[in-house]
Structure formats: structure tokens, C-alpha cells
Structure 1
Amino acid sequence: MSWLKKIFGKGHDVAPPLDGELETHFVYVRMPGDVQPVERHYLFEDPIEEQLKLRNLGYVSGGGTMQSAPDENGATTIILTGIDIEADDLDGVRGLLRSLLPGLGAPVETQIEYTVDDTRLQDRLTAEGWIENEPRTDLHPGFDL
């Protein structure tokens, strides 16, 4: 049971598919800025999860934040927030995220990171809109994906 479900009585109730039934693709949404974990959950994860379920495209499998190095007083700030998604339909999830994220308040330079045939790619939100299929060098902060 997730800590959010324990605290708020609400959480993700989607079980991953059984082995061998369905190949999924890992998608990572990287958003710059200071978004606290509970805010991330309610502002982004819940609406994304709802739309993924509605369209049978996949599920939110996790999320996290990355903090800055400590300043001279030892204080840190959140510099990015991330959302992990297991996508049953990679192109469908990418399209959904590109249409959904700006309306949820995702900042410019938000990235949708994914891999196709061992090639690391991203879709990046700019002030003019999305740039798709860019090569990327950034890795998932926790898993080097």
C-alpha cells in the first residue's frame, strides 16, 4: 500500500500486468521546478492516471523529486519532479501526455523521456509547443534509463 493511500485513503489500484502477458514501455516525465510530492500527486499523477486508465494505455508506476546541492547554510530546494509511467501503448501515452500536461500546468522544458530500440529519445515542451523525438542524454535519476 502506498504511503499516500495510508495517509489520504487514496492511491493507485492498478496492478502491473502478469509476466508474459503484455510488453510495456517505460516513460519518464521530467518537470523542472519546485513541486512538492503531495502537489505532484494531486496536480499531475492523479489526472494522468485517470486518463491512462480511461484509454487503457498504461499506469503511473511512481514518482519522485530531485533536490539541489546544499547551499552554504545546508538548505536544499527541489529542482525537478518526475513521474514514472508503464505504457502499454508508447505512442498513445506520448500523445496523451503532450495534450494533457500543458493544461495541468507543466512548465516549459518539461520532457517526456522514452526509449525506442535502445535509442533514448524525448519530447520537450517549449514556449512554442512540443518538439518530438529529440535525442536525449539525460537518464532517469534513479535507474539510469
Structure 2
Amino acid sequence: MVDPAIERILADTAPMMEEPVGGTYMAVLLFEDIDPFERHYRYGAMLDAELRLAGVGCADGGGTLFDAEDENGEREVLFTVLDIEATDIDGARTVLRAHLPELGCPAGTLVQFDTLEDRYDGTVWHLAEPRSFKEDD
């Protein structure tokens, strides 16, 4: 038998666990080489919880972009991507800017949305600048 207090809490949080409808894609570019599990546990799970609690979206996976193969067949990691589904872009940007430095994001981290980006220089966020980098460049 489940405690009625727990059932009330679970009922209140159930809508937060649903996938957002009508969201906008945002990308967080982390210029560091981390494996998918570290990306998820260091950034993805934490940001997903914060975005959902704020009611502004969710973290929806991610990936890694590699450079072309060198003469030895090796490829260098260019950056790691976190996919964000935002129902409120400005709210999601606020949450991301607050929590990414707490989670140890490196200088140069970008939060991209529409044709703009917020850039973290290791101390300060530079807001709504034109995109400096596109994945298809």
C-alpha cells in the first residue's frame, strides 16, 4: 500500500514528467570530450529535472560531433551536444545559464536557440549573440 502523502506528491509531479508539446529545439554545445554516460549523468539528468521543475522544457538526449579522420583513422571530438526541448525559450535559457556553470561546463559553452546563442566565457554569460558556430559548417 502506497502512503497517501506520496500518492499526492506523485500526482502533482506527473504532468512534469510528460514530454513537452509544441516545444522549440535548443542545443547546448560543450567543448569537451565526455562519453555519453558522463554527458547524461553530469549534465542531462540534472538539467532535465531543473527544466521540468521550472515548467520550461526538458533535456532530450544529445550526441557528439567528431572531426574528420586523420591519417591514422582517428577522429577528434569537436564538442558534445545536449538536446533541449523548450516550451519557453527565455525560461529555458535562464535555467541553463544558472545551472551549467554549477555543473562544471567549460568556458566556451554555447546555448543555441533560433539564430542566436548565449556564450559562457568561464565567468560571464554573453547573451543573444549571433551564432558563432553551426553544426553543418
Structure 1 length normalisation: TM-score? 0.76
- Which ranges of structure 2 fall in alignment gaps of 5 or more residues? 1-16
2:125 aligned counterpart, secondary structure: strand
Match status 1:25 vs 2:24: yes
Instruction: Please give the alpha-carbon distance, in whole angstroms, between the structure 2 residues aligned to 1:44 and 1:99.
Output: 13
Instruction: Please give the alpha-carbon distance, in whole angstroms, between the structure 1 residues aligned to 2:31 and 2:19.
Output: 29
Residue of structure 2 aligned with 1:15, choices 8, 13, 19: 19
2:84 aligned counterpart, secondary structure: strand
1:132 aligned counterpart, secondary structure: strand
Match status 1:62 vs 2:61: yes
Q: What is the aligned partner in structure 2 of residue 88 from structure 1?
A: 87
C-alpha root-mean-square deviation of aligned residues, in Å?
Answer: 1.7
C-alpha distance 77-140 of structure 1, shift in aligned 2 (>3 A): closer
Residue of structure 1 aligned with 2:131, choices 115, 127, 136: 136
> CA contact under 8 A between 1:48 and 1:60: conserved in structure 2?
yes
Instruction: Please give the alpha-carbon distance, in whole angstroms, between the structure 2 residues aligned to 1:91 and 1:126.
Output: 20
- Which ranges of structure 1 fall in alignment gaps of 5 or more residues? 1-12, 18-22
Structure showing the higher helix proportion among its residues: 2
Instruction: Please give the alpha-carbon distance, in whole angstroms, between the structure 2 residues aligned to 1:14 and 1:62.
Output: 15
Q: What is the aligned partner in structure 1 of residue 98 from structure 2?
A: 99
Residue identity in the other structure for 2:59: V
Instruction: Please give the alpha-carbon distance, in whole angstroms, between the structure 2 residues aligned to 1:109 and 1:47.
Output: 20
Instruction: Please give the alpha-carbon distance, in whole angstroms, between the structure 2 residues aligned to 1:137 and 1:125.
Output: 13
Residue identity in the other structure for 1:53: R
Q: What is the aligned partner in structure 2 of residue 124 from structure 1?
A: 119
> CA contact under 8 A between 2:60 and 2:84: conserved in structure 1?
yes
- Identity among equivalent positions (%) equals 37
User: How far does the alpha carbon of each residue in 1:11-61 deviate from its partner, in whole angstroms, 9 at most, with x for none?
Assistant: xx64342xxxxx422211011120111110110000000101111111122
Structure of higher CA gyration radius? 2
> CA contact under 8 A between 2:58 and 2:86: conserved in structure 1?
yes
2:101 aligned counterpart, secondary structure: helix
C-alpha distance 137-108 of structure 1, shift in aligned 2 (>3 A): closer
Instruction: Work out the number of aligned pairs and report it.
Output: 121
